[in-house]
Amino acid sequence: MKSELAAILDKDSKSNKEKSLPSISIDCVVFGFDTSSLKVLLVKLKDKDEWSLPGGYLGKNESLDESANRILNERTGAKEIYLNQFKTFGKPNRNEDFFAEFPDDLWHKQRFISVGYYALINFAKVEPRVDDLSDGCEWKNVHELPSLMMDHEEIFNTALLELRKGLNYRPVGLNLLPEKFTMPELQRLYEIILDKPLNRGNFYRKMTKYGILNKLKETRKGGAHKAPNLYTFSLETYKEALENGFKEAW
Amino acid sequence: MKSELAAILDKDSKSNKEKSLPSISIDCVVFGFDTSSLKVLLVKLKDKDEWSLPGGYLGKNESLDESANRILNERTGAKEIYLNQFKTFGKPNRNEDFFAEFPDDLWHKQRFISVGYYALINFAKVEPRVDDLSDGCEWKNVHELPSLMMDHEEIFNTALLELRKGLNYRPVGLNLLPEKFTMPELQRLYEIILDKPLNRGNFYRKMTKYGILNKLKETRKGGAHKAPNLYTFSLETYKEALENGFKEAW
């Protein structure tokens, strides 16, 4: 008896042969930030025990960036998210065995190289969605990952390393923090991404040098301590740095 | 009458249909350093006026890294070069028009996404080679580039930006400088890559913090000035930083 997954894969296979380019897949590492922890969006395929990164195939008339955005949108409803292409994974035999029990002409069984994208979003703002092929789509804490299929653990680890390295030349925080935020709130975001405490004075000096912050005259009222200063991002220099790296760097 | 290029392309097309994966090409941005300027290795296709980056296709049993290494080796004879995959280019219609005058079933006329790699090598140590499809393979100064085919100028510009950004989290210099070098020689390498002068004191402080240099007791003898200190790279921390970024960073 055909399993439910087999029937759905067969349909999906026919559809992709029509509409997708061969040999190329896209995988998205969607990091979610919620002011106290870093999570990643994972999908569970029907009939399989392992989880996977949300992914898909490149449409014949789609650019890679459009494809990654479509996949993220299908999974979360999120639109106009900054997706960062970080690496393409292309070892032979990275995926062919996963569908070993299915017919050889199944679309999903060919050799794929996979273009990896990551995004960092505020996970309170999006709603994960399952699709026909999956029976789970959930945020998982990056420190408590379930077993991942194929080379998805390598793809995830590479994305996390690139996200962390990226802090040295690219700004982060827009759309994750409230419009007005304090320096300790910004520091907490960096500490959660890096998974380590940072020195307060060093953090302040480094962030100030990047030239992407506007210090407001307002302070955050309430609380027992001295009211901390509020900041906004300077959109022009922020976007310039996102494109070309920090001016302060080499 | 068939042009010489048409006959060679036809043969190359048949061969690639046998041995390569569809839809995927590789392009290499090979930067050459010679202590006074930065160059890039370019190829001129027969019968075409524009130059191109050296590239090729992904073998059915080859990894992306192996493919990039093979292509670099075929063009320069260089082996075991550190090649850095920096971006995959995937706009629709980025290449199909280039071979418009050739038959539709020509391998080269399908839509390709192209995986970009860059390498930085000492160009005195390698010998550029032409292949059957090309009648030129030359080092060109990055400030005097000829017109490039398809989106190769975008690929080149992205590689140069990534090379420069990479200086903020990754070491450079091994295999480019002599085994023992002075701080001004290392600074000159950075200045050539960045195309701008750097402050000597800042450079010294930053490089020292990275923890990848061994200061030797020897000095460089000769010359009118005070003999400068010699350094070597500390291979263990250099390789660790190449893999995981500088410890000094965030």
Tens digits of residue pLDDT in B157-167: 999 999 998 88
The secondary element (H helix, E strand) that includes residue A208 is helix A200-210
Matching residue, tokens 């079933």: B105
Angle, helix B183-194 to helix B152-166, in steps of 10 degrees: 150
Whether the CB of A58 is below 8 Å from some CB of chain B: the reply is yes
pLDDT score for B236: 94
E strands, A16-109, are 20-33, 38-45, 51-52, 55-59, 83-89
pLDDT in tens, A95-154: 888 888 899 999 999 999 999 999 999 888 788 888 888 888 999 999 999 999 999 999
Among candidates A23, A82, A30, which has minimal Cα distance to A53? Answer: A30
CB B219 within 8 A of CB B228: yes
pLDDT in tens, B33-50: 888 899 999 999 888 889
B-facing residues of A in 180-239 (CB < 8 A) are 190, 194, 198
Residue B77's φ and ψ, nearest 5 degrees, are 75, -5
- Contact A90/B198, CB-based, under 8 Å? no
Whether the CB of B247 is below 8 Å from some CB of chain A: the reply is no
Backbone conformation region of residue A106, classed left if phi is above 0, alpha if psi is from -120 to 50, else beta:
beta
pLDDT score for A76: 84
Rg for chain A (alpha carbons), in Å? 21
pLDDT score for B62: 97
pLDDT score for B43: 93
Lowest-pLDDT range of A3-12, A61-70, B24-33: A3-12
The single-letter DSSP state of residue A132 is T
Among B168, B200, B248, the residue to mutate for chain A (most A Cβ within 10 A): B168
pLDDT of A67 > 90? The answer is yes
pLDDT in tens, B170-192: 899 998 898 999 999 999 999 99
pLDDT of B244 > 50? The answer is yes
| Cα separation, A192 vs B207, whole angstroms | 28
Instruction: Delineate the domains of chain B, giving CATH numbers in brackets.
Output: 4-166 (3.90.79.10), 181-244 (1.10.10.10)
Segment B61-78 mean pLDDT: 92
A-facing residues of B in 77-106 (CB < 8 A) are 85, 87-92
What sign for the dihedral angle of Cα A233, A235, A240, A243? positive
CB A82 within 8 A of CB A93: no
Question: Longest C-alpha distance within chain B, in Å?
Answer: 70
Average pLDDT of chain A to the nearest whole number: 91
pLDDT score for A166: 87
Among candidates A163, A166, A165, which has minimal Cα distance to A30? Answer: A163
Going by C-beta distance under 8 Å and a sequence separation of 6 or more, which residues neighbour residue A226?
Answer: none
| Cα separation, B216 vs B141, whole angstroms | 34
Q: Per-residue confidence at B63, pLDDT binned at 50, 70, 90?
A: very high
Please tell me which residue, B127 or B236, carries the higher pLDDT value.
B236
A91 to chain B: closest CA residue: B63
B116 to chain A: closest CA residue: A88
SS3 B103: coil
Across the A/B interface, how many CB contacts are shorter than 8 Å?
Answer: 96
pLDDT of A94 > 50? The answer is yes
A86 to chain B: closest CA residue: B87
Q: Determine the distance in angstroms separating the CA of B213 from the nearest CA of chain A, rounded to an integer.
A: 18
| Cα separation, B116 vs B90, whole angstroms | 11
Q: Which pair of tokens denotes residue A94?
A: 């990275």
Q: Which pair of tokens denotes residue B47?
A: 């019968």
pLDDT in tens, B75-116: 888 887 889 999 999 999 998 888 888 999 999 999 999 999
| Cα separation, A157 vs A82, whole angstroms | 19
* A111 contact residues in B (CB cutoff 8 A): 21, 60
Residue B133's φ and ψ, nearest 5 degrees, are -85, -15
Whether the CB of A65 is below 8 Å from some CB of chain B: the reply is yes
- Contact A65/B23, CB-based, under 8 Å? no
Average pLDDT of chain B to the nearest whole number: 91
